[in-house]
Amino acid sequence: MSRERARLHGVVQGVGFRPFAYREARRRELAGWVRNRGGAVELEVEGPRPLLDDFFDALSKCPAPAQVERIERAAIAETAERGFSIQHSTAAAPEAALPADLAPCADCERELRDPHDRRFAHPFASCALCGPRFSIVLGLPYDRERTTMAGFALCPECRREYEDPLDRRYHAEPIACPRCGPQLSLLAPSGGDLGLAARALQLAAQALRQGEIVALRGLGGFQLLVDAQSDAAVQRLRERKQREQKPLAVLFPDLASVREHCELSSAEEAVLTSAARPIVLGRRRPTSELATSVAPGLSELGVFLPSTPLLGLLLAELGFPVVCTSGNLSGEPLCVDTAEALERLGAIADVFLVHDRPIARPLDDSVVRVGPFGLESIRRARGYAPLAVARFRARESVLALGAYQKCTVALGFGERLLLSQHLADLDTARGLRLLERTVDDLLGFCRVTPDLVACDLHPDYPSSTLAERLAERFGSRLVRVQHHHAHIAAVLAEHDLDEPVLGLAWDGTGLGDDRTIWGGEALWVSGAEARRLGHLGVFPLLGGDRASREPRRAALGLLWATDRARARAFARERFGEASGALLLQALERGINTPPTSSLGRLFDAVAALLGVRDSCSYEGQAAVELEALAEREPEAPAYELLLSAAPPYVAALEPLTRQICGDLEHGVDRARIAARFQASLVELGVALAGRVETASVVLGGGCFQNRYLRRRLSARLSALGRRVLTANQVPTNDGGIALGQAWVASRTASEPRD
């Protein structure tokens, strides 16, 4: 006989791991106990040596969603203990290994459809393997009393299941049934009651069938639903939400119905049906009869499947797909509480389908693509947060606050580097308040006081001023991280790589070390150090930030930098005589025309030159449409590029612009010009990698949301024998900036201090 004490790390809490260990021990007639400790599972086990090895082998192969990453084993003295038991949690320092919210498992799905089961059609059914987690948890260790379910007293039947180690609801913290769980109700925008429970669900379905807009209080906040087959209904939602053209996601009743509208690879289907249930951007079938206003001008469609019993029941009742979009006003955080939703969404929704389970924190739906080189996260929230995205390797803990758009918070402590859920842009007071609340939430949750606080180099971002205040409050050191350095570092963090790399940070805009606006950068990055080796040619950004909403301004700036005669003609043509003259004057005198090397703005400029669009109704629209246009010419060759032979490697804009304008004048198809432009950027990446021979090349920044750039450049560089790293679990856009900031800041600590 021998006895061992072990600590198991990974996703082991809130996923039925203790009962699993209990059953495996009982099966082998081993003695001992198991308990949660902090974010890990601790156990002692006693029995014949080979059986112990066999037991640990079984534990390491535990069923999903549990996942054992590491087992520490140590032999200890035998005690001749009899039997195996599950012990209660102790509140030692948690490591926050809490799982994300999980879609209903197969067993729960079966019960939901079984009229003889006591949870038949219960919108809040869950078990130890599925259900809400991060959206209900208020603290660690993860026990019912520290969730928003604490106020729901268990009925005798639920209590029996909860306490039986052999029941699949043993210590399933969100356990509930129709008798003791949360309740649904349907409200009018005035707040008046329209129906309860099953009746509420039926009335909501009826409203959707009639083309009305339903605000639904889901897992992590409100969502707005409307019939996706009705153009009139979708248009009405767009008008009321003031969301003119930005694509809307569509929620389907089941996989078969998704397939009718979308061409999906098996990898895409696997992600679509995974427990995280993100929105997957897939190829829309030309035969799809969804309303054209769902995603105007795009070949892609954002599709997803119900992530909760409530959504599953509603969609099953409907039998047709619905548009399902965040319940907020444009650019603001998600509405979470019913009173707040009635006030803010009262003018948008016709009815409100709500429940009385408090929501611990807002969680949007996650958005991903599935590419040939893995997941391409676009928005990371429900189903993924708060899973650790990286290994943390510094002694000092770090809090990082991100940039301005798509704000997230990162926290590095112990062994984990966490990235919060997507929050909001910071141009509203609500967005900033949510950022502040999330900092408190995360620090409280993990019980960390940060040694370092990191933020963007831009002093005027609200996240930067908040970082200053927090650094003062905690007595922490403040570290300002250059935006594009952070983009590259986010990828290094995710892939746990710590060697000097060439980083191509192709992005919208961010403040550079030289106080100009960067965004088409080639950086040499080694830990806390980043050197600018090269960049796109510079052109004036006419009107500063305004240029990103009005691509024709970027185009005029580009022409001004490359061909004055063409610039004058373009100004007259696209802005009219008077406004054109004023803008030319501004350029002449350098008034509000900061120089930029941004690739995002170059995309805008080219889109405007091609007449794709002059102004945008959402961020990045021109670039997205240029990409869609280029899809028609996948084999178009690159334009000739001029890249300087010695550092700094500057890609000249003049020859590129001349060739594009020449093609336009010769009546070359715009799709071909768009494709040739993108092909040129791939060649630029290859040329830069040829000049800087690091083993690994890192691609980071918002422009790598462009599938063509990301996938073609990855393939080309890999073929040349380079290791190519991109953001996968973490968004390549500014949603990943906080992670990169935390990684860079943690590297400043190990350097000698003066």
Q: Contact positions toward Fe ion, by CB under 5 A?
A: 507, 734
Task: Residue 725: name its binding partner from Zn ion, Fe ion, none (Cβ under 5 to 8 Å by kind).
Answer: none
**Residue placing its CB nearer to Fe ion in the complex, 517 or 686:** 517
The three-state secondary structure class of 63 is coil
Partners of 520 in the β-ladder: 506
Q: How far is the CB of 180 from Zn ion (least distance, A)?
A: 3
Query: Looking at beta carbons, which pairs linking 672-675 to residues 24 or more positions away fall under 8 Å?
Result: 672/633, 672/636, 673/610, 674/606, 674/607, 674/610, 674/612, 674/626, 674/627, 674/629, 674/630, 674/633, 675/629, 675/630, 675/632, 675/633, 675/634, 675/636
Q: Strand 322-326 relative to strand 67-76: parallel, antiparallel, unpaired?
A: unpaired
Q: How far is the CB of 176 from Zn ion (least distance, A)?
A: 6
**Residue placing its CB nearer to Fe ion in the complex, 295 or 623:** 623
Task: Residue 86: name its binding partner from Fe ion, Zn ion, none (Cβ under 5 to 8 Å by kind).
Answer: none
Amino acid in the structure at residue 486: A
**Residue placing its CB nearer to Fe ion in the complex, 268 or 734:** 734
Q: How far is the CB of 107 from Fe ion (least distance, A)?
A: 43
Q: How far is the CB of 280 from Zn ion (least distance, A)?
A: 22
Residues 6+ apart with CB under 8 A from 160: 167
Q: How far is the CB of 174 from Fe ion (least distance, A)?
A: 37
Q: Which of 318, 325, 347, 332 is nearest to 216 (CA)?
A: 325
Residue 355 phi, psi (nearest 5): -140, 170
Task: Residue 507: name its binding partner from Zn ion, Fe ion, none (Cβ under 5 to 8 Å by kind).
Answer: Fe ion
Cα 745 to Cα 51: distance, rounded to the nearest angstrom? 46
Q: How many CA atoms lie within 13 A of 711 on its CB side?
A: 13
Q: How far is the CB of 702 from Fe ion (least distance, A)?
A: 5
Q: How far is the CB of 183 from Zn ion (least distance, A)?
A: 12
Q: Is the distance from CB of 259 to CB of 172 less than 8 angstroms? A: no
Cα 173 to Cα 36: distance, rounded to the nearest angstrom? 14
Cα 601 to Cα 618: distance, rounded to the nearest angstrom? 14
**Residue placing its CB nearer to Fe ion in the complex, 627 or 734:** 734
> What tokens were used for 698?
């890192």
The DSSP symbol for 554 reads H
Task: Residue 511: name its binding partner from Fe ion, Zn ion, none (Cβ under 5 to 8 Å by kind).
Answer: none
Q: How far is the CB of 197 from Zn ion (least distance, A)?
A: 14
Q: How far is the CB of 111 from Zn ion (least distance, A)?
A: 8
**Residue placing its CB nearer to Fe ion in the complex, 288 or 516:** 516
Q: Is the distance from CB of 739 to CB of 400 less than 8 angstroms? A: yes
**Residue placing its CB nearer to Zn ion in the complex, 158 or 318:** 158
Q: Is the distance from CB of 333 to CB of 422 less than 8 angstroms? A: no
Q: How far is the CB of 649 from Fe ion (least distance, A)?
A: 21
Q: Is the distance from CB of 48 to CB of 78 less than 8 angstroms? A: no
Sign of CA dihedral 507, 410, 697, 626: negative
Q: Where are the beta strands (DSSP E) in 60-181?
A: 67-76, 84-86
**Residue placing its CB nearer to Zn ion in the complex, 20 or 392:** 20
Q: Where are the beta strands (DSSP E) in 228-333?
A: 250-251, 262-263, 279-284, 300-304, 322-326
Task: Residue 451: name its binding partner from Fe ion, Zn ion, none (Cβ under 5 to 8 Å by kind).
Answer: none
Q: How far is the CB of 103 from Zn ion (least distance, A)?
A: 9
The three-state secondary structure class of 192 is coil
Cα 603 to Cα 597: distance, rounded to the nearest angstrom? 11
**Residue placing its CB nearer to Zn ion in the complex, 108 or 442:** 108
**Residue placing its CB nearer to Fe ion in the complex, 2 or 516:** 516
Q: Which of 431, 404, 586 is nearest to 508 (CA)?
A: 404
Task: Residue 105: name its binding partner from Zn ion, Fe ion, none (Cβ under 5 to 8 Å by kind).
Answer: Zn ion
Q: How far is the CB of 32 from Fe ion (least distance, A)?
A: 51
Q: How far is the CB of 651 from Zn ion (least distance, A)?
A: 53
**Residue placing its CB nearer to Zn ion in the complex, 125 or 538:** 125
Task: Residue 130: name its binding partner from Fe ion, Zn ion, none (Cβ under 5 to 8 Å by kind).
Answer: Zn ion
Q: How far is the CB of 241 from Zn ion (least distance, A)?
A: 34
**Residue placing its CB nearer to Zn ion in the complex, 275 or 653:** 275
**Residue placing its CB nearer to Fe ion in the complex, 663 or 734:** 734
**Residue placing its CB nearer to Zn ion in the complex, 132 or 220:** 132
Report which secondary-structure segment, H or E, holds 662: helix 653-665
Cα 383 to Cα 391: distance, rounded to the nearest angstrom? 20
Q: Is the distance from CB of 393 to CB of 719 less than 8 angstroms? A: no
Q: In what order do the strands lie in the sheet with 398-400?
A: 388-391, 416-419, 410-413, 398-400, 452-456, 477-481
**Residue placing its CB nearer to Zn ion in the complex, 155 or 533:** 155
Q: How many CA atoms lie within 13 A of 660 on its CB side?
A: 31
Cα 4 to Cα 463: distance, rounded to the nearest angstrom? 48
Please state, in angstroms and as integers, the Cα–Cα distance from residue 29 to each residue in 16, 45, 164, following that order: 20, 10, 19
Please state, in angstroms and as integers, the Cα–Cα distance from residue 64 to each residue in 231, 411, 713, following that order: 40, 26, 34
Report which secondary-structure segment, H or E, holds 205: helix 197-209
**Residue placing its CB nearer to Zn ion in the complex, 119 or 369:** 119
Task: Residue 177: name its binding partner from Fe ion, Zn ion, none (Cβ under 5 to 8 Å by kind).
Answer: Zn ion
Q: How far is the CB of 157 from Zn ion (least distance, A)?
A: 6
Q: Which residues bind Zn ion (CB under 5 A)?
A: 105, 108, 127, 129-130, 155, 158, 177, 179-180
Partners of 7 in the β-ladder: 42, 72
Q: Is the distance from CB of 510 to CB of 484 less than 8 angstroms? A: yes
When CB distances to Fe ion are compared, the closest residue is 507
Task: Residue 734: name its binding partner from Fe ion, Zn ion, none (Cβ under 5 to 8 Å by kind).
Answer: Fe ion
**Residue placing its CB nearer to Zn ion in the complex, 115 or 475:** 115
Cα 384 to Cα 207: distance, rounded to the nearest angstrom? 32
Q: How far is the CB of 687 from Fe ion (least distance, A)?
A: 23
Task: Residue 70: name its binding partner from Fe ion, Zn ion, none (Cβ under 5 to 8 Å by kind).
Answer: none
Report which secondary-structure segment, H or E, holds 696: strand 696-700
